[in-house]
Amino acid sequence: MSTPIPVEFWYDFGSNYSYLAVMRIEAVAKKYGVPVQWRPFLLGPIFQSFGWNDSPFVLQKEKGDYVWKDMVRESKKYGLPFRRPTTFPRTAVQATRLALLGSNAEWGAEFSRRIMLLNFALDQDIASDSLVLAVLRDMGLPADALMVAARADEVKARLRDQVALAHRMGMFGAPTCMVGSEMFWGNDRLDDAFRLAAGR
Amino acid sequence: MSTPIPVEFWYDFGSNYSYLAVMRIEAVAKKYGVPVQWRPFLLGPIFQSFGWNDSPFVLQKEKGDYVWKDMVRESKKYGLPFRRPTTFPRTAVQATRLALLGSNAEWGAEFSRRIMLLNFALDQDIASDSLVLAVLRDMGLPADALMVAARADEVKARLRDQVALAHRMGMFGAPTCMVGSEMFWGNDRLDDAFRLAAGR
């Protein structure tokens, strides 16, 4: 039996379709027997490199209007709670750095799900340090130490590298799955990415 | 038994994801027992209303690069032939007017599939009158009469109305399915539209 290629899962805490994928991915990964490599990153600098100063769902009104209706239907389809965030897109730099720290630890996936639920089911300000701190505490983690660790220059540099790598790979949105050099954009392509990784 | 709502199927002959949907839709419709109302239209004037002078897949290079890789995989997934058109997007006004004429006739669906295959599997210039004429002849239709009928002022006006209606409904891309006032954008939402129409 060959070892399946892991699926690199790139997501942004402000991205609504990333929310759906973050909540679903472990079940999909289990179904295909393929490991996930969590890759939290920031879409903002990528959009800026295209000359955009906001999400395309804000810049293009017609698509934006549609997306929130689609989100209501899609969330229902997957059995996920959803409330349209009053601020969109939210940029959560500290939470993203923490997710990066957690991406090689046991707690990373659950931390990411909690941040996503706060943004897209509870409409909370995920950029708030006190909120992020409360999440870490609630998970029984060394919250204060992690908050400090996430602000280390090394972690900041790692996040910048992550964004630069996304850019170099031609990423233009989130969620995006990479299987080797093969790119799959969107929650709608999650299964396709895992199917390729599983060699089916 | 309640009569299912028909799915209005809006498509543009130049749109690559419309190609996939045009080829698949009758099988999906049959599966759900829901009728299709074919709605050929032109995306160009809609894009122009957004201030775009070309397809977003051309204007945004990163997404454009991705889309053609996605098309290779998606065509394979659905068992459809695919060759990237050397001209993109192709605008086929006469073929669209003919499809509009055919949309209430027996031959409309098959005509649309043939035009789509010429564009996305055979890389032919579907804006060419002689090519469109050959398609009609090959289908055993009164080709010359239809070519003339499609140029009648009434048909031109009908196509303009169709585009204006799409715009008023907030359409921003193709394919788009309408189930009553509920909009489903993209080949990826085809099943969802039919599921709603079937009341499942």
Q: Using the beta-carbon criterion (under 8 Å), do A66 and B170 form an inter-chain contact? A: yes
What amino acid occupies position A7? V
The answer, for B63 touching chain A at a CB cutoff of 8 Å, is yes
The answer, for B6 touching chain A at a CB cutoff of 8 Å, is no
Q: Which residues does chain A have with pLDDT short of 70?
A: 1-2
The answer, for A52 touching chain B at a CB cutoff of 8 Å, is no
Q: Please state, in angstroms and as integers, the Cα–Cα distance from residue B113 to each residue in A150, B41, B76, following that order.
A: 55, 15, 17
Is B179 strand, coil or helix? strand
Instruction: Report the chain A residue with the minimal C-alpha distance to residue B71.
Output: A184
Q: Taking a C-beta distance cutoff of 8 angstroms, is the pair A105, A134 a contact?
A: no
The answer, for A156 touching chain B at a CB cutoff of 8 Å, is no
Q: Which pLDDT score, from 0 to 100, does residue A164 have?
A: 96
Q: Using the beta-carbon criterion (under 8 Å), do B65 and A189 form an inter-chain contact? A: no
The answer, for A63 touching chain B at a CB cutoff of 8 Å, is yes
Q: Spell out the domains of chain A, with CATH numbers in brackets.
A: 7-197 (3.40.30.10)
The answer, for A188 touching chain B at a CB cutoff of 8 Å, is yes
The pair phi, psi for residue A13, each rounded to 5°, is -65, -20
pLDDT tens for A44-93 read 999 998 888 888 888 888 999 999 999 999 999 999 999 999 999 999 99
Q: Of B48, B49, B61, B63, which to mutate for an interface test with A (greatest number of A Cβ within 10 Å)?
A: B63
Q: Using the beta-carbon criterion (under 8 Å), do A66 and B183 form an inter-chain contact? A: yes
Is B2 strand, coil or helix? coil
Chain A: give the shortest CA distance to residue B189, in Å: 9
* Strand-pair partners of A183: A178
Q: Using the beta-carbon criterion (under 8 Å), do A172 and B77 form an inter-chain contact? A: no
Taking residue A131's Cβ as centre, other Cβ atoms within 10 Å add up to 17
Residues 80-99, chain A, touching B (beta carbon < 8 A)? none
Residues 163-182, chain B, touching A (beta carbon < 8 A)? 170-173, 182
Return the closest-CA partner of residue A22 out of A124, A194, A166, A175.
Answer: A175
Q: What is the CA radius of gyration of chain B?
A: 16
Q: Using the beta-carbon criterion (under 8 Å), do A183 and B69 form an inter-chain contact? A: yes
For chain B, 200 residues long, give each residue's pLDDT as a single digit of tens: 567 789 999 999 999 999 999 999 999 999 999 999 999 999 999 999 888 888 888 888 899 999 999 999 999 999 999 999 999 999 999 999 999 999 999 999 999 999 999 999 999 999 999 999 999 999 999 999 999 999 999 999 999 999 999 999 999 999 999 999 999 999 999 999 999 999 97
- Prediction ipTM score: 0.91
Return the closest-CA partner of residue B116 out of B92, B136, B139, B94.
Answer: B92
DSSP string covering chain A: -PPPPPEEEEE-TT-HHHHHHHHHHHHHHHHHT--EEEEE--SHHHHHHTT-SS-HHHHSHHHHHHHHHHHHHHHHHHT------SSSS---HHHHHHHHHHTTSTTHHHHHHHHHHHHHTS---TT-HHHHHHHHHHTTS-HHHHHHHTTSHHHHHHHHHHHHHHHHTT--SSSEEEETTEEEESGGGHHHHHHHHTT-
The pair phi, psi for residue A62, each rounded to 5°, is -60, -45
Using an 8 Å CB-CB cutoff, list chain A residues near B182. Answer: 69
Q: Using the beta-carbon criterion (under 8 Å), do A192 and B62 form an inter-chain contact? A: no
Using an 8 Å CB-CB cutoff, list chain A residues near B65. Answer: 170
Using an 8 Å CB-CB cutoff, list chain A residues near B171. Answer: 62
pTM: 0.94
The CA distance from A74 to B199, in Å, is: 16
A-B Cβ pairs (cutoff 8 Å, strict): 41
